[in-house]
Structure 1
Amino acid sequence: MKENRWSLRENSSLCRYIPIISILGAFIAALFILFYPPMPGIADQGDFQRVMKVTGLTDAKGQDSAHWFKYVVTEYKMLPTSSSRLLGIIPTTSMIYPITFGKLLCKIIGYNYFNTRILAFIYLILYMTGLYICFSCIHFKNIAAAVFFSILSIIILVDGNYIVWFNSLYGESMMIVGFILFISSIIYFLKHREDRSYKKFIFIFISSILFLGAKAQCFVELPLVVFIMLRIVKIDRKQIFNKTNIFLVITTLTIVFYVKGIYCKIDNSCGVDTKFNSVFYGILKNSQSPKKDLVMLGLSPDLSVEAGKHAYLPKSAYVKYIPWSDITNKEFNQKISNIKLAKFYILHPDRLLKGMEYTASKSFHTETSLGKYERSKVSKYNPEFNRFTFWSNFRNLKLPKTLSFIVVFYTLVFLVSFIEYIKNKKNEKITLQIEILWMIMFVGIVQFPMPYIGNGEADTAKQLFLFNYTFDITFLVGCTWIFDKLVATYYKYKRFYFELLS
């Protein structure tokens, strides 16, 4: 009797078609989400200007801020792209690369304006590429687990509340596209580590740039990327000072320069707003003694008059310290720093815990109240969106939005994966895949506290976008592991039953 008719060894010809069929299903679902009329997107809430300014876009003639929050705008006037920014000499958001390619396509097609639907299609191709590589390169013990993983991946990772962001100028779309490409580049490297060509290293380098440069919140993942580069040197060891390792060192230094450059620029612009929010709309918002907290931060107690306010209110809403004003710059901006914020929470773990409980209450929420359609396509403002959103609706309505649930979930996944790692320590394929899972979990764990510490209670759900995405991948892997164990147990007892009969 054959050991398992569902094993990949028994169905090697069939397993080659699983990634192809899976990616076709994912692509069809994504096309329906993005391009079935009326074509959806995400309305601007005032964030697009930062991206447009550095990528060579501006508002089309006749546009004003009246569409903000409520209606999608798909057309923008094209300006020349700075070659210095494109080459990374002036570090710029990684969105400049798909946007520049989109501008080129628009000109070839004959469009007079840049259309974000073209950008959405570029994102879609990149995203599907990353998913296909993952489907193709991940090692499964049996075909049933491979099929289960593929189907669940489509339901979870091609959810409409992820894909709809592609038709916008928000960094969220570049962030998850860059992240899935980064994961796939590592998986591709592990499967082809005997291949001595440089293409796998170039793939890792490009995907790292796209991921880390997508949004400011990705910058904290730089140490992880550097660690992975060093881990690759260890895996690929033949000689320490061979050409490959020297190439990796150069690309790693380039990534560090790129990320540091973007961080410095953002810290001098929107970083001013986030620090204002982190203090006034975070630390001071629910404080029993705001003046005492300000003194501990090295700030004037007089700033307490603005406690509980964020940086985006009308000027008339502030008593004295208006964001970006000279007095606020002197008394607040020049004196506060991320180090002081971190130190405050280290010295007040109870305040940090309360902040994390608030953050947990905003987790698992990838939908948004921003408008989803163009003004000409709908009769009124419509934030509702329900195309292929089965998973995000379930996650938002059914999963506990509590800190205890998140801690227990990640603890269980880590403990089980660690046991599997020890049991399979001689099987490099399995141990390396578990290390990738730990990397994904680490990204999510780092992302979780960032919104509250770095931006107070402002826009928390939106800033948990990457955390939610990494949680979904971890959940996907966990479900696949359970399914694989159930299949293995079923065939184990089935074989035992037949042996008894014989």
Structure 2
Amino acid sequence: LLGFSCVYLACAKAQYAVLAPVLLLWWAVLAISTAEGVKKKLISAGAAVLVAALLGSYALGVYGNNESISSQDTLYSGLMNGILLYADDPEEALEDLGLDPGLIADKGKHPYLPKEDYYCPPRTEKAEELLYSKVSSTKYLAWYLKHPKAFWHLLNDTASYAADPMPDFNLYIGETNVGSHRTVNKWNLWAQMRPNLLPRRFAGYLLLFGLPAIAALMTIFRKGAGRRRKLYAGLLLVLLAIGAMQYPLPMVGNGRSDPIKQLYLFREVTDFTYLFLLTWVSARMTRRK
């Protein structure tokens, strides 16, 4: 069940497919550490191979299927609403990427305007020639890594978006989210609290994720720690790694186009981390000496 759950998670969305290596590593650790005896270890190894094959094939399939659905719009947004907004010199950024300098005219535009509003309309042969055939999300990431100032700015913006509330899709019967409507507060207390509790700078998330990660590593390498405790620490590391991997991806690939929704998985991991820290502190405070 865990293996198939990993497959479903990695294949739920194209940006989640990069989680496959982390999930595979965790599956291997879990399979080997919990199996007792040669026979069970062989069964676990066989199951791990099956899950690896499924994860690998399906993860690649997600990217293949996504190519015809949203890849072009993602590439367009990543440039116009991402790199060109963060670059100190947008024209130089276009030159670095090997792109037509005329694309500067579409800076800040999303890919859903009327075609006559663009210098290079998205999803057209011109866009294929000037943009899609020359860039990729990996190339965007490489550009950010070569421009740390822009990347740092992006990471701080990501922190702010991650703390913002999700779009309000909870509605009373008969109301729509177009225009004003009543706020649905039922079962929504944490959603109202989290914008005031979460950090809005990247350094805050370094602490939020870094401190539990250090504690988990110390537990794993502590000689006196039991196997169960080490497995729990390993699971925590996996969750933190998933969150860390998801943190920059939406903004690198999609720019400022709908980042709050794209950060959904990172937001879930962040909320879990808060819950974990709260539970741990409560347990430490109430533990009998």
TM-score, scaled to structure 1: 0.53
Q: Match of 1:189?
A: none
Provide the secondary structure at the position in 1 that maps to 2:56.
helix
Q: Flag the 1:412–1:232 CA change in 2: closer, same or farther, 3 A.
A: closer
What corresponds to 1:455 in structure 2?
A: 254
Could you say which residue in structure 2 is the equivalent of 1:234? 32
Q: Indicate yes or no: 2:257 matched with 1:438.
A: no
Aligned twin of 1:479: 278
Query: Could you tell me how far 1:232 is from its partner in structure 2?
Result: 3.0
Match of 2:264 in 1: 465
One of 406, 414, 428 as aligned partner of 2:227? 428
* Distance across 1 between alignment mates of 2:268 and 2:245: 13
Cα distance in structure 2, aligned partners of 1:379 and 1:465: 22
Distance 1:434 1:315, change over 3 A: same
* 1:203-234 residue CA offsets vs partner (Å, 9 max, x unmatched): 02321222122222211111111212322343
Name the SS for the 2:21 alignment partner. Answer: helix
Which one of the candidate residues 311, 314, 327 is aligned to 2:126? 327
- Of 220-229 and 454-463, deviating more is 220-229
- How many residues were matched structurally? 285
Please point out which of 42, 52, 73 is paired with 1:252.
Answer: 52
Give the number of the structure whose residues are more often helix, by fraction: 2
- 1:423 deviation in Å? 4.2
- Structure 1 residues 397 and 386: alpha-carbon distance in aligned structure 2, compared to 1, 3 A threshold: same
Quick check: 2:170–2:184 contact (8 Å CA) kept in 1? no
The correspondence of residues 191-202 of structure 1 with structure 2, limited to 5 A, is none
Alpha-carbon offset, residue 325 of structure 1: 1.2
Paired position in structure 1 for 2:205: 406
Residues 478 and 317 (structure 1), Cα distance of their counterparts in 2 relative to 1, 3 Å cut: same
Q: CA 1:421–1:246 in 2, change beyond 3 Å: closer, same or farther?
A: closer
* Partners of 1:464 and 1:339 in 2: CA distance: 18
- Structure 1 match to 2:68: 268
Go from structure 1 to structure 2 and tell me whether the alpha carbon gap of 1:244 and 1:405 turns closer, same or farther (over 3 Å shift): closer
- Closer/same/farther in 2, CA of residues 353 and 425 from structure 1, 3 Å limit: farther
The aligned residue for residue 33 of structure 1 is none
Q: Structure 1 residue 317: deviation in Å? A: 2.4
Q: CA deviation at 1:419?
A: 3.3
Cα separation, partners in 2 of 1:469 and 1:450, compared to 1, 3 Å = same
Query: Is 1:418 the counterpart of 2:217 in the alignment?
Result: yes
Q: In the TM superposition, what are the counterparts of 1:297-376 in structure 2 within 5 Å?
A: 297-318=97-118, 320-370=119-169, 372=171
TM-aligned CA deviation for residue 424 of structure 1: 6.2
Q: Decide whether the 8 Å contact of 2:77 with 2:255 is kept in 1.
A: yes
Say whether residues 1:378 and 2:208 are aligned partners: no
Change beyond 3 A, Cα 1:269–1:378: closer
- Structure 1 contact 366–468 (Cα < 8 Å) conserved: no
Q: Is the 1:280–1:308 Cα contact (8 Å) retained in structure 2?
A: yes
Relative to 1, partners in 2 of residues 1:390 and 1:321: Cα closer, same or farther, differing over 3 Å? same
What does residue 215 of structure 1 align with? 13
**Contact 2:213–2:236 (CA<8 Å) still a contact in 1?**
no
Give the Cα–Cα distance (whole angstroms) in 2 for the partners of residues 437 and 403 of structure 1. Answer: 20
Q: Secondary structure at 2:162's aligned position in 1?
A: coil
Structure 1 residues 114-193: aligned runs within 5 Å: none
**Alignment of structure 1 residues 67-82 onto 2, 5 Å:** none
> Distance between the aligned counterparts of 1:395 and 1:421, measured in 2?
31
Stretches of structure 2 that go unaligned for 5 or more consecutive residues are none
How many angstroms does 1:456 deviate by?
Answer: 0.5
Q: Which has the larger radius of gyration?
A: 1
Is the Cα–Cα contact under 8 Å of residues 243 and 270 in structure 2 kept in the other structure?
yes
Amino acid at match of 1:217: Q
What's the offset of the Cα at 1:430?
0.6
Unaligned runs of 5+ in 1: 1-202, 493-502
Which residue identity does 2:262 align to in structure 1? Q
CA contact 1:370–1:383 (8 Å) conserved in 2: no
2:193 maps to what in 1?
Answer: 394
State how far apart, in whole Å, the 2-side matches of 1:476 and 1:259 are: 30
Is contact 2:250–2:262 with CA below 8 Å preserved after alignment? yes
Task: Give 1:496's aligned residue.
Answer: none
Which residue identity does 1:355 align to in structure 2?
L
Residue aligned with 1:436, SS: helix
Distance 2:256 2:228 in 1: 42
TM-score scaled to structure 2, two decimals? 0.90
- Contact conserved, 1:285 with 1:307, CA < 8 A, in 2? yes
Taking the aligned partners of 2:231 and 2:199, their CA distance within structure 1 comes to 31
Relative distance call for 1:420 and 1:247 in structure 2 (3 A) is closer
Question: Do residues 280 (structure 1) and 77 (structure 2) align?
Answer: no
**For residue 62 of structure 1, what is the aligned residue in structure 2?**
none
- Provide the rounded CA distance (Å) in 1 between the counterparts of 2:177 and 2:99: 46
Out of 271, 274, 293, the residue aligned to residue 93 of structure 2 is 293
1:212–1:221: 8 Å Cα contact kept in structure 2?
A: yes
- The residue identity in structure 2 corresponding to 1:288 is D
- How well do the aligned residues superpose, as a CA RMSD in angstroms? 2.2
